[in-house]
Amino acid sequence: MFSRTYKAAVTLPPLVWVTVFLLMPYLLMFCYSFWSVSASQTIIHSWTLDNYRQLLRVDVYWQTLLRSMWIAARVTIFSLLLGYPLAYFLSLYAGKKKDLLYQLVIIPLWVSYLVRAYAWKTILGSDGVLNTLLQYVHLTKHPLEFLLYSPFAVVLTLTHIYTPFTFLPIYAALEHIPRNLVEASHDLGATPGQTFWKVIFPLSIPGVLAGATFAFVLSLGDFLAPLLLGGPSGIMISNIVVSLFGAAFNWPLGAAISLCMLALVVSLLFFSERLEKKWSFS
Amino acid sequence: MSETTFASGSRWLLFHAIAVFVFLYSPIAILILYSFNGEGVGGFPPHHLTLDWYRTLFADGPIWDSVLNSVQVALAAMVISLAFGVPAALALERAQFPGKAVFRRLVLLPLILPGIITGLSLLMLFNVMGTKLSLMTIILGHGTALISVATTEVFAGLQKLDRAQEEASLDLGANYWQTFWRITVPNLKLPIIGAALLIFTLSMDEIAVSFFLIGRDNTLPLEIWGRLRRGITPEINSVSTIIFVFSLVAIVLWYRLRMRGEGASSAGTEMVEAAEGHAG
How far, CA to CA in Å, does A93 sit from each of A88, A99, B110? 8, 12, 35
- Collapsing DSSP to helix, strand or coil, B15 comes out as helix
Give the rounded percent of residues in chain A with a pLDDT score beyond 70. Answer: 99
Dihedral (C-alpha) A113, A117, A122, A125: value to the nearest 10 degrees?
A: -170
pLDDT at B240 over 80: yes
Question: How many other C-beta atoms are found inside a 10 Å radius of the C-beta of residue B196?
Answer: 20
Mutate to test the interface with B, among A45, A93, A213 (most CBs of B within 10 A): A93
Task: Tell me the pLDDT band of B279, cut-offs 50, 70 and 90.
Answer: very low
Mean pLDDT of B35-63: 83
Q: Which helix (H) or strand (E) holds B207?
A: none
The answer to whether B255 contacts A82, with C-beta atoms less than 8 Å apart, is no
The domain ranges of chain A are 57-279
pLDDT at B7 over 60: no
Residues of A within 8 A of B137 (CB-CB) are: none
| Strand, coil or helix: B249 | helix
Name the CATH superfamily, with its identifier, for domain B61-275: MetI-like (1.10.3720.10)
- Interstrand relation of A36-37 and A43-44 (parallel, antiparallel or unpaired): antiparallel
- Assess whether pLDDT exceeds 80 at residue B259: no
| Fold topology of A57-279 | MetI-like fold (1.10.3720)
With contact defined as beta carbons under 8 Å apart, do A165 and A109 qualify?
yes
Q: Which of residues 95-114 of B touch A (CB under 8 A)?
A: 95-97, 103, 106-107, 109-110, 112-114
Contact B147 A122 (CB under 8 A): no
User: Within 10 Å of residue B272's Cβ, how many Cβ atoms?
Assistant: 26
For B90, the closest of A10, A105, A168 (CB atoms) is A10
Helix, strand, or coil here: A223? coil
Tell me what pLDDT residue B261 has. Answer: 67
The answer to whether the Cβ–Cβ distance between B42 and A106 falls below 8 Å is no
* pTM (two decimals): 0.90
Exposure of A93 in the CB half-sphere (CA atoms within 13 A): 21
Give the Cα separation of B155 and A261 in Å (integer): 29
Which of residues 37 through 96 in chain B touch A, CB cutoff 8 A? Answer: 40-45, 83-85, 87-88, 90-91, 94-96
- Between CA B191 and CA B270 the distance in angstroms is 12
- The residues facing A36 across adjacent strands are A44
Q: pLDDT tens digits for B155-183? A: 988 888 888 888 888 889 888 888 888 88
Q: Please judge whether A186 and B5 are an interchain contact, meaning their C-beta atoms are less than 8 angstroms apart.
A: yes
Dist CA A144 CA A161 (whole Å): 23
Burial class (CB in 10 A: 0-12, 13-18, 19+), A269: buried
Contact B42 A165 (CB under 8 A): no
Nearest alpha carbon to residue A122 among A166, A80, A153: A153
Residues 6+ apart with CB under 8 A from B186: none
What are the structural domain ranges in chain B? 61-275
DSSP helix, strand, coil percent of chain B (3-state; round to 5): 75, 0, 25
Give the helix/strand (H/E) hosting A111. none
Local structure of A37: helix, strand or coil:
strand
Contact B113 A186 (CB under 8 A): no
List average pLDDT for each run of 10 residues in chain A, which is 282 residues long: 84 94 95 88 86 90 92 97 95 86 86 87 82 81 81 94 93 90 89 89 92 93 91 91 89 94 91 84 58
HSE-up (13 A, CA, CB side) for residue A96: 0
Helices (H), B160-219: 164-171, 176-179, 185-187, 189-205, 210-213
The per-residue pLDDT for B275 is: 59
Q: Kind and range of the H or E element at A36?
A: strand A36-37
pLDDT, residue B223, reads: 93
What is the residue type of B3?
Answer: E
